[in-house]
Structure 1
Amino acid sequence: MTEHLITQSDHQAPVEPLPVEFANTLSASRGVLVEGLSSPAALEAWLRRCRGLFPHPFPEDVPIRASEQQLLHTRMLRDATRRLLTARIGRTAPDPWDVAQVNRACALSRSWPVLAWEGESAPRAAHLRTTDTATDARAQIARSLVALLTGDHSTLLRICRGPGCVLFFSRNHPRRVWCSDGCGNRARVARHRERHPGDRT
Protein backbone atom coordinates (compact mmCIF):
# COMPACT_ATOMS: atom_id res chain seq x y z
CA MET A 1 0.00 0.00 0.00
CA THR A 2 1.52 3.31 -1.04
CA GLU A 3 1.29 6.48 0.96
CA HIS A 4 1.50 9.99 -0.45
CA LEU A 5 2.05 13.19 1.48
CA ILE A 6 -0.29 15.90 0.24
CA THR A 7 0.52 19.46 1.23
CA GLN A 8 -2.38 21.80 1.81
CA SER A 9 -2.44 24.70 -0.66
CA ASP A 10 -4.63 27.72 -1.16
CA HIS A 11 -7.86 26.82 -2.92
CA GLN A 12 -8.78 28.48 -6.14
CA ALA A 13 -12.11 30.26 -6.04
CA PRO A 14 -14.51 27.59 -7.33
CA VAL A 15 -16.89 28.26 -10.17
CA GLU A 16 -19.28 25.82 -8.50
CA PRO A 17 -18.93 23.49 -5.50
CA LEU A 18 -16.84 20.41 -6.29
CA PRO A 19 -19.81 17.97 -6.51
CA VAL A 20 -21.60 20.33 -8.91
CA GLU A 21 -18.54 20.70 -11.11
CA PHE A 22 -18.26 16.91 -11.05
CA ALA A 23 -21.92 16.43 -12.02
CA ASN A 24 -21.45 18.92 -14.84
CA THR A 25 -18.87 16.71 -16.56
CA LEU A 26 -21.96 15.51 -18.42
CA SER A 27 -23.21 18.41 -20.50
CA ALA A 28 -25.15 19.00 -23.71
CA SER A 29 -24.46 20.69 -27.02
CA ARG A 30 -27.24 21.32 -29.54
CA GLY A 31 -29.43 18.76 -27.81
CA VAL A 32 -26.78 16.03 -27.73
CA LEU A 33 -25.22 14.83 -24.48
CA VAL A 34 -21.48 15.41 -24.23
CA GLU A 35 -19.42 13.09 -22.03
CA GLY A 36 -16.67 15.06 -20.33
CA LEU A 37 -15.13 11.90 -18.85
CA SER A 38 -14.82 10.05 -22.13
CA SER A 39 -11.51 8.34 -21.41
CA PRO A 40 -8.95 7.84 -18.63
CA ALA A 41 -6.97 10.72 -20.12
CA ALA A 42 -10.06 12.97 -19.96
CA LEU A 43 -10.55 12.04 -16.30
CA GLU A 44 -6.90 12.80 -15.56
CA ALA A 45 -7.22 16.16 -17.31
CA TRP A 46 -10.36 17.04 -15.32
CA LEU A 47 -8.66 16.14 -12.03
CA ARG A 48 -5.68 18.34 -12.91
CA ARG A 49 -7.94 21.21 -13.99
CA CYS A 50 -10.09 21.03 -10.85
CA ARG A 51 -7.41 20.09 -8.34
CA GLY A 52 -7.91 23.40 -6.50
CA LEU A 53 -11.55 22.56 -5.72
CA PHE A 54 -10.70 19.50 -3.61
CA PRO A 55 -10.69 19.78 0.19
CA HIS A 56 -7.16 18.33 0.13
CA PRO A 57 -5.76 19.36 -3.26
CA PHE A 58 -3.18 17.18 -4.98
CA PRO A 59 0.21 18.84 -5.34
CA GLU A 60 1.25 19.52 -8.89
CA ASP A 61 4.21 17.16 -8.57
CA VAL A 62 1.97 14.20 -7.70
CA PRO A 63 1.20 12.22 -10.88
CA ILE A 64 -2.45 11.64 -11.72
CA ARG A 65 -3.11 8.32 -13.43
CA ALA A 66 -6.51 6.74 -14.09
CA SER A 67 -7.33 3.28 -15.42
CA GLU A 68 -10.35 2.17 -17.44
CA GLN A 69 -11.80 0.63 -14.27
CA GLN A 70 -11.33 3.84 -12.32
CA LEU A 71 -12.98 5.73 -15.16
CA LEU A 72 -15.97 3.38 -15.01
CA HIS A 73 -16.33 3.77 -11.24
CA THR A 74 -15.93 7.54 -11.46
CA ARG A 75 -18.66 7.82 -14.07
CA MET A 76 -20.95 5.63 -11.94
CA LEU A 77 -20.38 8.01 -9.03
CA ARG A 78 -20.95 11.00 -11.33
CA ASP A 79 -24.29 9.60 -12.56
CA ALA A 80 -25.36 8.86 -8.98
CA THR A 81 -24.35 12.41 -8.02
CA ARG A 82 -26.53 13.87 -10.78
CA ARG A 83 -29.55 11.84 -9.68
CA LEU A 84 -29.05 12.78 -6.02
CA LEU A 85 -28.73 16.48 -6.85
CA THR A 86 -31.92 16.21 -8.91
CA ALA A 87 -33.70 14.49 -6.01
CA ARG A 88 -32.56 17.16 -3.55
CA ILE A 89 -33.62 20.01 -5.83
CA GLY A 90 -36.97 18.38 -6.57
CA ARG A 91 -37.48 17.25 -2.96
CA THR A 92 -38.08 13.68 -4.07
CA ALA A 93 -36.94 10.39 -2.57
CA PRO A 94 -33.46 9.29 -3.69
CA ASP A 95 -32.67 5.90 -5.16
CA PRO A 96 -31.10 3.81 -2.34
CA TRP A 97 -28.56 2.49 -4.87
CA ASP A 98 -27.29 6.02 -5.47
CA VAL A 99 -26.99 6.66 -1.73
CA ALA A 100 -25.05 3.41 -1.37
CA GLN A 101 -22.71 4.41 -4.23
CA VAL A 102 -21.83 7.66 -2.47
CA ASN A 103 -21.36 6.00 0.92
CA ARG A 104 -19.11 3.36 -0.62
CA ALA A 105 -17.00 6.01 -2.33
CA CYS A 106 -16.66 7.96 0.93
CA ALA A 107 -14.84 4.98 2.47
CA LEU A 108 -12.43 4.38 -0.43
CA SER A 109 -9.56 6.41 0.95
CA ARG A 110 -8.16 6.87 4.42
CA SER A 111 -6.44 10.15 5.17
CA TRP A 112 -5.32 12.06 8.21
CA PRO A 113 -3.65 15.40 8.94
CA VAL A 114 0.06 15.58 9.67
CA LEU A 115 2.48 18.38 10.46
CA ALA A 116 4.99 19.10 7.70
CA TRP A 117 7.90 21.12 9.08
CA GLU A 118 11.46 20.96 7.82
CA GLY A 119 14.42 23.08 8.80
CA GLU A 120 13.65 26.75 9.39
CA SER A 121 10.73 26.86 6.97
CA ALA A 122 7.29 27.70 8.30
CA PRO A 123 5.22 24.71 9.47
CA ARG A 124 2.37 23.70 7.22
CA ALA A 125 -0.56 21.31 7.35
CA ALA A 126 -0.44 18.24 5.12
CA HIS A 127 -2.54 15.15 4.59
CA LEU A 128 -1.40 11.56 4.38
CA ARG A 129 -3.47 9.30 2.16
CA THR A 130 -3.27 5.60 1.49
CA THR A 131 -4.64 5.28 -2.04
CA ASP A 132 -3.79 6.47 -5.53
CA THR A 133 -4.87 9.94 -6.62
CA ALA A 134 -7.85 8.90 -8.77
CA THR A 135 -9.32 6.75 -5.98
CA ASP A 136 -8.71 9.41 -3.34
CA ALA A 137 -10.39 11.94 -5.65
CA ARG A 138 -13.57 9.83 -5.73
CA ALA A 139 -13.58 9.67 -1.94
CA GLN A 140 -13.14 13.43 -1.64
CA ILE A 141 -15.89 14.10 -4.17
CA ALA A 142 -18.29 11.77 -2.35
CA ARG A 143 -17.55 13.35 1.02
CA SER A 144 -18.01 16.82 -0.46
CA LEU A 145 -21.35 15.70 -1.88
CA VAL A 146 -22.48 14.50 1.55
CA ALA A 147 -21.51 17.87 3.02
CA LEU A 148 -23.31 19.76 0.23
CA LEU A 149 -26.54 17.74 0.36
CA THR A 150 -26.79 17.90 4.15
CA GLY A 151 -25.69 21.52 4.60
CA ASP A 152 -27.46 24.84 4.39
CA HIS A 153 -26.16 25.48 0.85
CA SER A 154 -28.21 22.58 -0.51
CA THR A 155 -31.18 24.96 -0.76
CA LEU A 156 -29.22 26.97 -3.35
CA LEU A 157 -28.89 24.05 -5.77
CA ARG A 158 -30.65 24.50 -9.10
CA ILE A 159 -31.00 22.78 -12.47
CA CYS A 160 -30.46 25.17 -15.36
CA ARG A 161 -33.66 25.83 -17.31
CA GLY A 162 -31.83 26.98 -20.40
CA PRO A 163 -33.02 25.33 -23.65
CA GLY A 164 -31.34 21.92 -23.93
CA CYS A 165 -29.10 22.49 -20.90
CA VAL A 166 -28.49 19.68 -18.39
CA LEU A 167 -26.14 21.50 -16.02
CA PHE A 168 -26.51 22.21 -12.31
CA PHE A 169 -25.49 25.36 -10.48
CA SER A 170 -25.53 26.89 -7.03
CA ARG A 171 -27.65 30.03 -6.92
CA ASN A 172 -25.05 32.22 -5.22
CA HIS A 173 -26.88 35.40 -6.22
CA PRO A 174 -30.64 35.98 -5.77
CA ARG A 175 -31.02 37.14 -9.39
CA ARG A 176 -29.20 34.18 -10.89
CA VAL A 177 -31.48 31.94 -12.96
CA TRP A 178 -29.16 30.23 -15.45
CA CYS A 179 -25.93 28.27 -15.24
CA SER A 180 -24.28 30.80 -17.56
CA ASP A 181 -24.96 33.98 -19.51
CA GLY A 182 -25.08 31.88 -22.68
CA CYS A 183 -28.04 29.88 -21.40
CA GLY A 184 -29.77 33.08 -20.32
CA ASN A 185 -29.35 34.58 -23.77
CA ARG A 186 -30.66 31.43 -25.48
CA ALA A 187 -33.70 31.38 -23.20
CA ARG A 188 -34.47 35.02 -23.94
CA VAL A 189 -34.17 34.39 -27.68
CA ALA A 190 -36.48 31.37 -27.39
CA ARG A 191 -39.09 33.43 -25.50
CA HIS A 192 -38.86 36.21 -28.08
CA ARG A 193 -39.48 33.74 -30.91
CA GLU A 194 -42.50 32.31 -29.12
CA ARG A 195 -44.01 35.78 -28.76
CA HIS A 196 -43.03 36.94 -32.23
CA PRO A 197 -42.95 33.86 -34.49
CA GLY A 198 -42.48 35.93 -37.65
CA ASP A 199 -39.55 37.93 -36.31
CA ARG A 200 -36.14 36.44 -37.32
CA THR A 201 -34.03 39.10 -35.58
Structure 2
Amino acid sequence: MHADHLALALAVTIRHDGHGGVADDLAEPAGLTRWVREHAAGLVPEGGGTDDGYQADAAALAAVVGVRTAVRALFARAVLPGPPSPADAGRLPDAESALRRLNEAAGRVPLVPRLDWPSEGPAVAGFAVVGTPDPGERLAAALAQAAMGFLSGPDRDRLRACPAPRCVRYFVQDHPRQEWCKPSCGNRARVARHHARHRAPSGD
Protein backbone atom coordinates (compact mmCIF):
# COMPACT_ATOMS: atom_id res chain seq x y z
CA MET A 1 0.00 0.00 0.00
CA HIS A 2 1.18 3.50 -0.83
CA ALA A 3 2.20 5.22 2.39
CA ASP A 4 -0.35 8.02 1.90
CA HIS A 5 -3.09 5.39 1.69
CA LEU A 6 -2.45 4.49 5.31
CA ALA A 7 -4.94 7.27 6.03
CA LEU A 8 -7.59 5.42 4.03
CA ALA A 9 -6.69 2.12 5.71
CA LEU A 10 -7.05 3.82 9.08
CA ALA A 11 -10.39 5.39 8.16
CA VAL A 12 -11.92 2.06 7.12
CA THR A 13 -11.24 0.45 10.48
CA ILE A 14 -14.80 1.74 10.98
CA ARG A 15 -16.81 -0.63 8.81
CA HIS A 16 -20.12 -2.40 8.26
CA ASP A 17 -20.30 -5.45 10.54
CA GLY A 18 -22.32 -7.58 8.11
CA HIS A 19 -25.40 -7.51 10.32
CA GLY A 20 -26.72 -4.01 9.81
CA GLY A 21 -24.47 -2.33 12.33
CA VAL A 22 -21.04 -0.71 12.50
CA ALA A 23 -17.88 -2.47 13.69
CA ASP A 24 -14.72 -0.85 15.02
CA ASP A 25 -11.51 -2.76 14.37
CA LEU A 26 -9.76 -0.50 16.89
CA ALA A 27 -12.14 -1.01 19.78
CA GLU A 28 -9.35 -2.33 21.99
CA PRO A 29 -5.53 -2.36 22.04
CA ALA A 30 -5.41 -5.88 20.58
CA GLY A 31 -7.18 -4.62 17.48
CA LEU A 32 -4.63 -1.85 17.04
CA THR A 33 -1.81 -4.37 17.53
CA ARG A 34 -3.18 -6.49 14.69
CA TRP A 35 -3.73 -3.49 12.43
CA VAL A 36 -0.23 -2.09 12.97
CA ARG A 37 1.41 -5.44 12.29
CA GLU A 38 -0.57 -5.72 9.04
CA HIS A 39 0.55 -2.24 7.94
CA ALA A 40 4.04 -2.12 9.46
CA ALA A 41 5.83 -1.88 6.10
CA GLY A 42 3.86 1.20 5.10
CA LEU A 43 4.57 2.90 8.41
CA VAL A 44 8.34 2.87 7.96
CA PRO A 45 8.66 5.91 5.63
CA GLU A 46 6.74 8.10 8.08
CA GLY A 47 8.94 7.15 11.01
CA GLY A 48 6.36 4.89 12.60
CA GLY A 49 8.11 1.65 11.75
CA THR A 50 7.26 -1.32 13.92
CA ASP A 51 8.22 -4.96 14.12
CA ASP A 52 6.34 -8.20 14.57
CA GLY A 53 6.61 -7.81 18.33
CA TYR A 54 4.65 -4.54 18.47
CA GLN A 55 2.06 -4.41 21.26
CA ALA A 56 -0.36 -1.51 21.50
CA ASP A 57 -1.46 -0.14 24.85
CA ALA A 58 -4.37 2.05 25.89
CA ALA A 59 -2.39 5.27 25.37
CA ALA A 60 -1.42 4.30 21.82
CA LEU A 61 -5.01 3.32 21.07
CA ALA A 62 -6.33 6.67 22.29
CA ALA A 63 -3.76 8.57 20.24
CA VAL A 64 -4.49 6.63 17.04
CA VAL A 65 -8.27 6.80 17.46
CA GLY A 66 -7.91 10.56 17.88
CA VAL A 67 -6.10 10.74 14.54
CA ARG A 68 -8.73 8.50 12.94
CA THR A 69 -11.51 10.79 14.14
CA ALA A 70 -9.73 13.76 12.56
CA VAL A 71 -9.12 11.85 9.33
CA ARG A 72 -12.75 10.83 8.96
CA ALA A 73 -13.88 14.39 9.66
CA LEU A 74 -11.59 15.66 6.92
CA PHE A 75 -12.68 12.86 4.58
CA ALA A 76 -16.26 14.03 5.11
CA ARG A 77 -15.13 17.50 4.03
CA ALA A 78 -13.23 16.09 1.04
CA VAL A 79 -16.27 14.33 -0.46
CA LEU A 80 -18.43 17.47 -0.42
CA PRO A 81 -20.87 18.25 -1.96
CA GLY A 82 -21.62 14.53 -1.71
CA PRO A 83 -22.81 13.07 1.59
CA PRO A 84 -20.25 11.71 4.07
CA SER A 85 -20.21 8.17 5.36
CA PRO A 86 -23.37 7.51 7.41
CA ALA A 87 -21.08 6.63 10.32
CA ASP A 88 -19.83 10.21 10.32
CA ALA A 89 -22.99 12.26 9.91
CA GLY A 90 -23.33 14.46 12.98
CA ARG A 91 -20.76 12.49 14.97
CA LEU A 92 -17.46 14.16 14.11
CA PRO A 93 -15.69 17.40 15.01
CA ASP A 94 -15.85 20.28 12.56
CA ALA A 95 -13.12 20.55 9.93
CA GLU A 96 -11.21 23.28 11.79
CA SER A 97 -11.02 21.18 14.95
CA ALA A 98 -10.04 18.11 12.92
CA LEU A 99 -7.22 20.03 11.20
CA ARG A 100 -5.94 21.22 14.55
CA ARG A 101 -6.00 17.69 15.95
CA LEU A 102 -4.20 16.27 12.92
CA ASN A 103 -1.51 18.96 12.95
CA GLU A 104 -0.95 18.58 16.68
CA ALA A 105 -0.56 14.80 16.37
CA ALA A 106 1.92 15.14 13.50
CA GLY A 107 3.90 17.86 15.28
CA ARG A 108 4.52 15.86 18.44
CA VAL A 109 7.10 13.74 16.62
CA PRO A 110 9.15 15.86 14.20
CA LEU A 111 11.15 14.26 11.40
CA VAL A 112 14.46 15.39 9.99
CA PRO A 113 15.95 14.57 6.57
CA ARG A 114 18.49 11.77 6.67
CA LEU A 115 20.80 10.20 4.11
CA ASP A 116 21.77 6.54 4.43
CA TRP A 117 24.54 5.16 2.25
CA PRO A 118 25.54 1.55 2.91
CA SER A 119 29.01 0.36 1.94
CA GLU A 120 27.42 -1.71 -0.80
CA GLY A 121 24.49 -0.10 -2.56
CA PRO A 122 23.10 3.31 -3.47
CA ALA A 123 22.53 6.25 -1.18
CA VAL A 124 18.95 6.55 0.06
CA ALA A 125 17.35 9.78 1.25
CA GLY A 126 14.72 9.48 3.95
CA PHE A 127 13.66 10.79 7.31
CA ALA A 128 14.57 10.09 10.91
CA VAL A 129 12.61 10.68 14.09
CA VAL A 130 13.99 13.33 16.42
CA GLY A 131 14.68 12.02 19.92
CA THR A 132 12.97 9.02 21.50
CA PRO A 133 9.24 9.78 21.50
CA ASP A 134 6.58 7.68 23.16
CA PRO A 135 5.70 4.76 20.83
CA GLY A 136 2.00 5.65 20.80
CA GLU A 137 2.70 9.26 19.87
CA ARG A 138 5.18 8.12 17.23
CA LEU A 139 2.56 5.87 15.66
CA ALA A 140 -0.12 8.57 15.79
CA ALA A 141 2.28 11.09 14.25
CA ALA A 142 3.17 8.70 11.44
CA LEU A 143 -0.51 8.21 10.63
CA ALA A 144 -1.21 11.94 10.84
CA GLN A 145 1.66 12.63 8.44
CA ALA A 146 0.33 9.98 6.06
CA ALA A 147 -3.09 11.63 6.21
CA MET A 148 -1.52 14.98 5.34
CA GLY A 149 0.09 13.40 2.30
CA PHE A 150 -3.22 11.90 1.20
CA LEU A 151 -5.33 15.00 1.78
CA SER A 152 -2.85 17.23 -0.05
CA GLY A 153 -2.30 14.76 -2.90
CA PRO A 154 -4.10 13.89 -6.13
CA ASP A 155 -6.07 10.96 -4.70
CA ARG A 156 -8.13 13.27 -2.47
CA ASP A 157 -10.18 14.32 -5.49
CA ARG A 158 -11.07 10.66 -6.12
CA LEU A 159 -12.15 9.99 -2.54
CA ARG A 160 -15.76 8.87 -2.22
CA ALA A 161 -18.11 7.70 0.54
CA CYS A 162 -19.64 4.39 -0.52
CA PRO A 163 -23.41 4.91 -1.07
CA ALA A 164 -24.35 1.23 -0.76
CA PRO A 165 -26.94 0.39 1.91
CA ARG A 166 -25.36 0.02 5.36
CA CYS A 167 -21.81 0.63 4.08
CA VAL A 168 -19.77 3.19 6.03
CA ARG A 169 -16.49 2.98 4.11
CA TYR A 170 -14.57 5.59 2.15
CA PHE A 171 -12.68 4.57 -0.98
CA VAL A 172 -10.51 5.99 -3.73
CA GLN A 173 -12.30 5.78 -7.08
CA ASP A 174 -10.22 3.65 -9.47
CA HIS A 175 -12.14 4.77 -12.58
CA PRO A 176 -14.83 7.38 -13.28
CA ARG A 177 -17.69 4.86 -13.36
CA GLN A 178 -16.86 3.20 -10.06
CA GLU A 179 -19.74 3.78 -7.64
CA TRP A 180 -18.99 1.47 -4.69
CA CYS A 181 -16.04 0.52 -2.56
CA LYS A 182 -16.21 -3.15 -3.57
CA PRO A 183 -18.34 -5.45 -5.77
CA SER A 184 -20.38 -6.82 -2.87
CA CYS A 185 -21.59 -3.29 -2.10
CA GLY A 186 -22.61 -2.86 -5.73
CA ASN A 187 -24.56 -6.11 -5.58
CA ARG A 188 -26.29 -5.03 -2.37
CA ALA A 189 -27.19 -1.65 -3.88
CA ARG A 190 -28.64 -3.26 -7.01
CA VAL A 191 -30.71 -5.69 -4.93
CA ALA A 192 -32.02 -2.83 -2.79
CA ARG A 193 -33.00 -0.86 -5.89
CA HIS A 194 -34.71 -3.92 -7.38
CA HIS A 195 -36.77 -4.49 -4.23
CA ALA A 196 -37.66 -0.80 -4.06
CA ARG A 197 -38.98 -0.87 -7.64
CA HIS A 198 -41.02 -4.03 -7.14
CA ARG A 199 -42.29 -3.47 -3.61
CA ALA A 200 -46.06 -3.75 -3.51
CA PRO A 201 -47.88 -0.60 -2.35
CA SER A 202 -48.91 -0.67 1.27
CA GLY A 203 -52.61 -1.14 1.97
CA ASP A 204 -52.46 1.22 4.96
Match of 1:5 in 2: none
Aligned residue number for residue 12 of structure 2: 24
Q: Could you say which residue in structure 2 is the equivalent of 1:90?
A: 80
Answer yes or no: is the 8 Å Cα contact 2:40–2:51 preserved in 1: no
One-letter amino acid matched to 2:150: L
Question: Equivalent residue of 1:90, what SS?
Answer: coil
Q: How much identity, in percent, do the aligned residues show?
A: 28
Q: Distance in 1 between matches of 2:59 and 2:139?
A: 14
Match of 1:197 in 2: 199
Deviating more after overlay: 143-152 vs 180-189: 143-152
Distance 1:94 1:146, change over 3 A: farther
User: Number of residue pairs matched?
Assistant: 186
Segments of 5+ residues of structure 2 without an aligned counterpart are 83-92
**Partner of residue 180, structure 2:** 178
Task: Return the alpha-carbon distance in structure 2 between the equivalents of residues 147 and 122 of structure 1.
Answer: 26
2:139 to 115, 137, 140: 137
Runs of 4 or more, structure 1, over 6 Å off, are none
1:177 CA drift (Å): 0.7
Give, as a single letter, the amino acid of the residue that structure 2 aligns with 1:80: A
Aligned to 1:3: none
**1:42 aligned to which of 5, 12, 31:** 31
Residue 76 of structure 1 pairs with residue 78 of structure 2: no
C-alpha spacing 1:113/1:65, structure 2 compared with 1 (3 Å)? farther
Task: Give 2:184's aligned amino acid.
Answer: G
Q: Shift in Å at residue 101 of structure 1? A: 0.6
Pairs within 5 Å for 1:92-131 = 94-120=94-120, 123-125=123-125, 127-129=127-129, 130=131, 131=133
Instruction: Assess if the C-alpha contact under 8 Å between 1:64 and 1:133 holds in 2.
Output: no
Q: Tell me the alpha carbon deviations over residues 69-107 of structure 1, each in whole angstroms, 9 at most, x when there is no partner.
A: 221121122112111110121159943221111010111
TM-score (norm 2): 0.78
The alignment yields a C-alpha RMSD, in angstroms, of 2.7
SS at match of 2:59: helix
Partner of residue 7, structure 1 = none
Judging changes above 3 Å, is the alpha-carbon distance between structure 1 residues 158 and 22 closer, same or farther for their aligned structure 2 residues? same
